[in-house]
Structure 1
Amino acid sequence: MSQRHDLLVELGTEELPPKALKGLSESFTNSFVNSLEQARLNYTSVESYATPRRLAVLVKGVEARQADEVVEKRGPAIQAAFAPDGSPTRAAEGWARGLGIDVADAERLVTDKGEWLLYNATVPGKGIEELVQGFIDTAVKQLPIPKAMRWGSGSHQFIRPLHTLTVLLDSKVLPAELFGVQSDNKVNGHRFHHPEQLTLTQAADYADVLTSGHVVASFAQRREAIREAVVALAKTENAVPVWDEDLIDEVASLVEFPVALAAGFDESFLAVPKEALIYTMKDDQRYFPLVDQQGELLPRFIFITNIESRDPQQVISGNEKVVRPRLADAQFFFETDKKTKLSERLNKLDSVLFQKELGSIGDKARRMEATARFIADELKADKDAAARAGLLAKADLVSSMVMEFPEVQGVMGMHYARHDGESETVAQAIEAHYRPRYAGDELPNSLEGCAVALADKLDTLAGIFGIGQTPSGDRDPFGLRRAAIGMLRILVEKELPLDLVTLVRSAVANYGSVIKNPDEVTDNVVDFLLGRFRAWYQDQAISVDVIQAVLARRPTVALDFDRRVKAVAEFRTNPQAEALAAANKRVSNILAKSDEQLGPVQPDLLVESAEKALYDVLNGLKDKVSAAAVNGDYAGALSALATLRAPVDEFFDSVMVNADDDAVRRNRLSLLDALRNEFLKVADISLLQS
């Protein structure tokens, strides 16, 4: 067994971009793993390290040398390798010379296609000392660098200037070079707490040595330490931190030795909507806001510092001074915005472009007003409130607060609507119209909010499809896929029995003459929406063939589509499902080959007992299946149809469909057509795979 070792590689840099650090670290580690596997070097485990000033990987239990490899080297064909007198030709001698052997040392490879000279060459394995430079070069080349920079007088380009390169195999420094920096066993400690370099005597001691230098090397451990420190400190404040996983990642990417401290701000700022204050603290300052047990914002926050100060109050005071002007800005914007009503901002929306062929945001607002009214009417909701919310939904985009902090759009519209005296229904619908913003986000709470959210997404879909700018590949600049999934979630999860064709047609009509081919655009948008069901259900581990079975029927009520999919997925677990799917496939193939006009089954033309039995059972089920399908109980419909297994099997075992008598043949085809139509009330189960 080959001796195992520990290999450490660290790139010591200037401060890396915090939002990129996690991805850089994952890429660096994955590249090393791939290089090791491609080089056929076994290892026990891989540990990834990343701080603002370093990327590192520690490979434990790695083999120091590749195993020798036997490689077949095929030479010329025998007839080309030897002259008639048996002497080797120039071709054979040249091949042998290139391998460092005599022609006489070669073996012969005999196959059914001929005979060739063959030499099994042993390629000696390379040591990790020879390979590690290639590993480093590959890993660096594959890093997802947002923007490279050049430093000093050299021509090197990297994400940040490189200061150290540490490459250790156990205690031995392996020779390597990167951007003119030679490998060593030195690493940088904390910039302030341990500015002197640290010396590594063993690769495996990397994390412990850095800990002694006030650096928590592991990104995951540093992240968890931040979470625990914030939770513990929040408890002493009798508060709950406002969590944001991306914020924790970013803070962990900004510090090497996290220390949590609590600070406060003037209570007068609490008059500003909490969402704006929270955004200011989180996104501008990377602070963790605190709320009470009821979710109300407190004038306190927690921040993470990169130093353990002897006088933490100085650090706290400094952060309180820094955040105050930011909160004051938010307060100023809020007070200024309140002087102008949302309805008075509508004219400004006419100067904000939505899309050059589709007009302004003002045009979009008026279309949303009409579409939201139509949808609310369909839902028997307050259509006037929905229309008003649709018209005002985008008005906060031209407010000072939203122009400064775009992430609070919609939320500020809700607060301004309340201040203006709009109804609570209108205010909440304005806030809800962006929902769901992302996977797993909450949906609008009210029917009016659903109407406005649907109107917004429908307007974008109809307009962008109307000018032919549909998503292609990874390109989706208007977020149409997200809008489509959001629509489907609202319709299904809120159980809204709305037809997609009706909805899209309404949105398309509101564009008037801007959309030249309304029927075609309507069909294309509906197809796009139905197509998004596939991705949605696959995320729920529902197989593709189940989705295709329902898509074949093209039900355009999203809620109905969902119920069919769930029913077919459940039906697949039925012991009768596989045989009935196969039978439906057989029926489909038989009917596809027939071009005869089929009518109702004629009972007096049924001859065989098996076809009579199938007809009787089918006839007895029709009303039950139809009633279940009409009520959306597709599981009940398929459960009833599952009882057809035995008579269907008996029919195909005993009955010749293509009878000599034309009338009997047509009648049997009609019976199969009737059988298939019962299943098609739910889905085309002939598409289910066994």
Structure 2
Amino acid sequence: MAATTLLIELGVEELPPGAIDSLSDALADGIHRGLTEAEVDFGEIRAYATPRRLAVQVAELGDKQPDREIERRGPALAAAFKDGQPTKAAEGFARSCGVSVTELVHLETDKGTWLGYRERQQGETTTVLLPAIVDKAIAGLPVPKNMRWGASRVEFSRPVHWLVMLYGSDVVDAELLGLRSGRTTRGHRFHAPDPIELAHADDYLDVLEHAWVLADRNLRRERIREQVLAEAEVQEAKAVIDEELLGEVSGLVEWPVALAGSFDERFLEVPAECLISSMKANQKYFHLLDEKGRLKPLFITIANIDSHEPQRVVEGNEKVIRPRLADAAFFYDTDRKQPLAARIDGLASVVFQKQLGTLADKAHRSAAVAAFIAGRIGGNVAQARRAAELAKCDLVTEMVLEFPELQGIMGRYYATHDGEPAEVAQALEEQYLPRFAGDAIPQTPAGQALALADRLDTLTGIFGIGQRPSGTKDPFALRRAAIGVLNIMIKGELDLNLRELLELAAAQHRDLPYAENLVEEVLGYMLDRFRAWGQDEGIPAEVYLAVRARPVTKPLDFARRLRAVHAFTQREEAAALAAANKRVSNILAKQADEVSRQVDVSQLQEPAEQALYDAVSSSRGRVMPLFAEGRYHEALDILAGLRTPVDGFFDDVMVMAEKDTIRRNRLALLSDLQALFLEVADIALLQQ
């Protein structure tokens, strides 16, 4: 079959920049799915998008479906003929197929012989199939909010003005979104406003680039990056390229041109984070740093036009940013007129959650837990308590109300201005760490105590009112809170008992409707997060299950066990010892009475059981001190040496001996062996 390139382009009014990538990818996925279902051969599918267009290019698209052999099964042969003559069932089946009975065939199956019909169905041409495929793909787009335009009842994210559908050099006849397909596209709104006729689908990117449009999203993004870096070099500065901002700016332009502007140096008296937030959020500017990493009074904007008078464009941007930065300076000056502590009373009017009270209530609860944690980790109890009291005060400042992403950061600035201890000020920012996977954890004891206390308060409170997260809903980000607690304890090497902390956090709440079993429920939920945590470190689920089977409530200890057992599984002896432990577990589980671990040496009759007893006794003396210090890796290396005596025991010794005393003694020996491994994990579960 012949193959050529397909081009589909929807020309629209400016799309929301945050939706462009998802819409573009979804359109390509929909075309891919439709062609696959239609069984039409195709090559690479490329998605293109700008603020004014969504496009898909399909390489080496076949011109038709393959022919198919259709097989229909009719009545069983025994029911199709009687005395050599076709029955009504056979005749009816033949009529439904449009043939005579003589044209039917016999189909042999494992359930007998049936009357059947085979025909070759011609494949449909691709150009006939495409309108329905494209229509279905467009209908499946994740449009944030549909709108109508003019007198039409057609709906889409933005008004659609043109539709290109080219198969090679031929137009695919279709009517979609109220438009008849054609070969006419549009270039840049200002640089190339006239209609452009596309001769062939392969010409798309080149024709648009000559019309001042970079339709390739990745190329446009990288062009912006290169221009920003180059312009920063001209300014003898370092550009900070935020990837999220880069993507957003890429969704705002079709022909990017980087231009550098400046602002009044007096604004540098305002914290850099405030100025950066204002430039990014309001104007989509990239900020610049000097050689010491300090903010320079410069910015880079990306214009959507290659102006003959670029300085006028720069001056326009400078004029716009000036009042924005002035607002930030005003907020900063206004906020500092009263100390952060003066806002504590104001937290009583801000609801955290209607059943859990206000932010003032949360601060009070967190203060008690933070002080306790600080005492356990060698921190300053008073500073941790003070940090918790001030933790949410910056949420009611003008600056954070305008720029919520500055929460914690402004708390640090204002606390420092007020003369609060340096660690208290730092803790106000660190309370939100880690914010995402791989993020840093708090470095100060007060910051660690506050970050843990705040999350534990949220977890116990939300669980306590019965709003446990489901598979799809987690409005209070409890998964992230739980993983944050684990990461702080593990990376910070904090030897804290999670059950103890949850009991304390739960006790700070009053009248929780689901208080019964609350601590165990939250504890289980948090320890279950270790499955995903382990997977991120390349630790398989069976290792997690082996450790989870033990009553471990210290996250740092849990992580050490996970890593040690994972390393143990890489040893040659691991599989055999896991199988042996599985066998031991099965034997002991079948005993009606509890099995003692006291072995009577005088009852050891076989050399193999004596050898196992000696090996277990010797190993216990070496590993118990290691267990006490959490050195599980070294302990398991020692226990790996038990493979030979364990194998010898099961090869040569009958555990369930007829004599009761000998049988009980052998069971006690196995129980003693099992107990050694259970000090780390239930390695029998590694067999799963």
Contact 1:462 1:522 (8 Å CA) reproduced = yes
Cα offset, 1:517, TM superposition = 6.0
Alignment of 1:528-539 (within 5 A): 528-539=525-536
Contact 2:259 2:303 (8 Å CA) reproduced = yes
Cα offset, 1:111, TM superposition = 3.0
Partner of 1:540: 537
Partner SS, residue 55 of structure 2: strand
Partner SS, residue 181 of structure 2: strand
Using the alignment, how far apart are the partners of 1:598 and 1:49 within structure 2?
70
Using the alignment, how far apart are the partners of 2:258 and 2:86 within structure 1?
81
Cα offset, 1:539, TM superposition = 2.3
Partner of 2:25: 26
Matched AA of 1:188: R
Gaps of 5+ in 1: none
Q: Please, which of 242, 255, 258 is the counterpart of residue 256 of structure 2?
A: 258
Alignment of 1:433-582 (within 5 A): 433-511=431-509, 513-515=510-512, 518=515, 520-582=517-579
Cα offset, 1:97, TM superposition = 2.2
Partner SS, residue 60 of structure 1: strand
Partner of 2:73: 74
Contact 1:509 1:518 (8 Å CA) reproduced = no
Contact 2:466 2:513 (8 Å CA) reproduced = no
Partner SS, residue 526 of structure 1: helix
Partner of 1:194: 192
Partner SS, residue 454 of structure 1: helix
Using the alignment, how far apart are the partners of 1:658 and 1:127 within structure 2?
75
Cα offset, 1:85, TM superposition = 4.0
Partner SS, residue 153 of structure 1: coil
Contact 1:7 1:62 (8 Å CA) reproduced = yes
Aligned-residue Cα RMSD (Å) equals: 1.2
Q: Please, which of 367, 370, 380 is the counterpart of residue 369 of structure 1?
A: 367
Contact 1:587 1:676 (8 Å CA) reproduced = yes
Query: Quick check: 469-478 or 28-37, which moved more?
Result: 28-37
Q: Please, which of 654, 657, 660 is the counterpart of residue 659 of structure 1?
A: 657
Partner SS, residue 475 of structure 2: coil
Matched AA of 2:34: S
Cα offset, 1:366, TM superposition = 1.1
TM-score normalised per structure 1: 0.98
Cα offset, 1:112, TM superposition = 4.0
Using the alignment, how far apart are the partners of 1:553 and 1:292 within structure 2?
54
Using the alignment, how far apart are the partners of 1:403 and 1:120 within structure 2?
72
Contact 2:588 2:595 (8 Å CA) reproduced = no
Cα offset, 1:19, TM superposition = 0.4
Partner SS, residue 321 of structure 1: helix
Using the alignment, how far apart are the partners of 2:244 and 2:517 within structure 1?
42
1:44 matches 2:43: yes
Partner SS, residue 556 of structure 2: helix
Partner of 2:683: 685
Cα offset, 1:71, TM superposition = 2.1
Query: Quick check: 316-325 or 595-604, which moved more?
Result: 595-604
Using the alignment, how far apart are the partners of 2:189 and 2:50 within structure 1?
12
Contact 2:603 2:661 (8 Å CA) reproduced = yes
Partner of 2:352: 354
Contact 2:260 2:301 (8 Å CA) reproduced = yes
Query: Quick check: 97-106 or 453-462, which moved more?
Result: 97-106
Alignment of 1:379-458 (within 5 A): 379-458=377-456
Using the alignment, how far apart are the partners of 1:136 and 1:41 within structure 2?
14
Q: Please, which of 644, 647, 659 is the counterpart of residue 642 of structure 2?
A: 644
Cα offset, 1:205, TM superposition = 1.0
Query: Quick check: 95-104 or 263-272, which moved more?
Result: 95-104
Alignment of 1:162-201 (within 5 A): 162-201=160-199
Partner of 2:276: 278
Partner SS, residue 385 of structure 2: helix
Contact 1:358 1:514 (8 Å CA) reproduced = no
Using the alignment, how far apart are the partners of 1:428 and 1:621 within structure 2?
48
CA 649–102 in structure 1, closer or farther in 2 if over 3 Å, else same: same
Contact 1:149 1:159 (8 Å CA) reproduced = yes
CA 373–211 in structure 1, closer or farther in 2 if over 3 Å, else same: same
Cα offset, 1:81, TM superposition = 2.4
Matched AA of 2:613: Y
Contact 2:370 2:384 (8 Å CA) reproduced = yes
Matched AA of 1:19: G
Q: Please, which of 230, 246, 249 is the counterpart of residue 247 of structure 2?
A: 249
Counting matched residue pairs gives: 687
Q: Deviations over 1:255-280 (max 9, x none)?
A: 00000001011111111111111111
CA 319–579 in structure 1, closer or farther in 2 if over 3 Å, else same: same
Cα offset, 1:595, TM superposition = 2.0
Using the alignment, how far apart are the partners of 2:366 and 2:236 within structure 1?
44
Query: Quick check: 310-319 or 122-131, which moved more?
Result: 122-131
Partner SS, residue 439 of structure 1: coil
Using the alignment, how far apart are the partners of 1:96 and 1:335 within structure 2?
90
Matched AA of 1:52: P
Cα offset, 1:294, TM superposition = 2.4
Using the alignment, how far apart are the partners of 1:265 and 1:667 within structure 2?
85
Contact 2:50 2:253 (8 Å CA) reproduced = yes
Q: Deviations over 1:121-151 (max 9, x none)?
A: 2121111111111221121122111111111
Cα offset, 1:406, TM superposition = 1.0
Contact 2:225 2:241 (8 Å CA) reproduced = no
Gaps of 5+ in 2: none
Matched AA of 1:592: A
Query: Quick check: 64-73 or 451-460, which moved more?
Result: 64-73
Partner SS, residue 529 of structure 2: helix
Cα offset, 1:26, TM superposition = 1.0
Using the alignment, how far apart are the partners of 1:578 and 1:495 within structure 2?
31
Using the alignment, how far apart are the partners of 1:196 and 1:318 within structure 2?
27
Partner SS, residue 184 of structure 1: coil
Partner of 2:630: 632
Cα offset, 1:114, TM superposition = 2.8
Q: Deviations over 1:68-110 (max 9, x none)?
A: 111211112223323x343333332232222222111111123
1:55 matches 2:57: no
Using the alignment, how far apart are the partners of 1:52 and 1:554 within structure 2?
56
Using the alignment, how far apart are the partners of 2:609 and 2:500 within structure 1?
42
Using the alignment, how far apart are the partners of 1:466 and 1:430 within structure 2?
26
Partner SS, residue 584 of structure 1: helix
Partner SS, residue 85 of structure 2: coil
Using the alignment, how far apart are the partners of 1:419 and 1:350 within structure 2?
24
Matched AA of 2:630: G
Using the alignment, how far apart are the partners of 1:468 and 1:541 within structure 2?
33
Partner SS, residue 571 of structure 2: coil
Q: Deviations over 1:46-78 (max 9, x none)?
A: 111011111111111121111111121111222
Using the alignment, how far apart are the partners of 1:175 and 1:91 within structure 2?
44
Contact 2:431 2:450 (8 Å CA) reproduced = yes
Cα offset, 1:632, TM superposition = 1.1
Matched AA of 1:586: R
Partner of 1:676: 674
Query: Quick check: 88-97 or 144-153, which moved more?
Result: 88-97
Using the alignment, how far apart are the partners of 2:110 and 2:540 within structure 1?
45
Partner SS, residue 136 of structure 1: helix
Using the alignment, how far apart are the partners of 1:37 and 1:24 within structure 2?
20
Contact 1:610 1:655 (8 Å CA) reproduced = yes
Contact 1:287 1:301 (8 Å CA) reproduced = yes
Matched AA of 1:582: A
Using the alignment, how far apart are the partners of 1:579 and 1:293 within structure 2?
59
Using the alignment, how far apart are the partners of 1:412 and 1:133 within structure 2?
55
Percent identity reads 50
Matched AA of 1:615: Y
CA 118–517 in structure 1, closer or farther in 2 if over 3 Å, else same: closer
Query: Quick check: 285-294 or 211-220, which moved more?
Result: 285-294
